[in-house]
């Protein structure tokens, strides 16, 4: 399965599209909110899923990692508007998320914008 995404493909060098409110919000789509009670033991993470705040998104990602026997990490390029989640092992799985409305300081809602659901080991580049 290829990358699943909302909007254009994002990688660690492409943050600009995460700095503005999501285009699909204008299409009157209704996004599913993450329910901690029903998804606590085995979170189902998918594109478009909403979280009430960044901490709940990070905890859901950690729990997803625990269930799948992987440790997750949050790379340093993350900030108050965007978040990337990867496995500590060199796996191609990742999540990109951002604030729904970063220009509104009262809106703390976060949304998964893209993810790569496959678990394949990436090759390591070793410099000599």
Per-residue pLDDT at 76 exceeds 70: yes
Q: Is residue 124 part of a domain?
A: no
Query: What are 80-93's pLDDT values in tens digits?
Result: 899 999 988 778 88
Question: DSSP code of 17?
Answer: G
Q: Is residue 13 part of a domain?
A: yes
Mean pLDDT, all residues of the chain: 76
Q: Name 87's bridge partners.
A: 72
When divided into structural domains, the chain yields a total of 1
Query: What are 108-127's pLDDT values in tens digits?
Result: 999 999 998 877 765 555 55
Indicate if the alpha-carbon torsion angle 119, 70, 10, 98 is positive or negative. Answer: positive
Per-residue pLDDT at 8 exceeds 70: no
Class of residue 26 by CB neighbours under 10 A (exposed 0-12, middle 13-18, buried 19+): exposed
Per-residue pLDDT at 36 exceeds 90: no
Q: Is residue 128 part of a domain?
A: no
For residue 128, what pLDDT is reported?
52
For residue 114, what pLDDT is reported?
95
For residue 103, give its domain range.
Answer: 4-36+44-116
């Amino acid at each position: 399965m290829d990358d699943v995404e909302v909007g254009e493909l994002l990688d660690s060098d492409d943050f600009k599209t995460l700095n503005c409110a999501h285009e699909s919000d204008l299409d009157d789509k209704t996004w599913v909110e993450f329910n901690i009670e029903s998804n606590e033991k085995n979170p189902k993470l998918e594109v478009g899923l909403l979280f009430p705040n960044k901490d709940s998104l990070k905890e859901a990602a950690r729990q997803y990692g625990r269930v799948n026997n992987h440790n997750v990490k949050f790379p340093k390029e993350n900030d108050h508007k965007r978040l990337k989640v990867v496995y500590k092992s060199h796996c191609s799985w990742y999540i990109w998320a951002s604030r729904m409305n970063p220009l509104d300081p009262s809106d703390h809602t976060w949304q998964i914008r893209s993810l790569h659901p496959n678990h394949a080991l990436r090759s390591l580049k070793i410099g000599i």
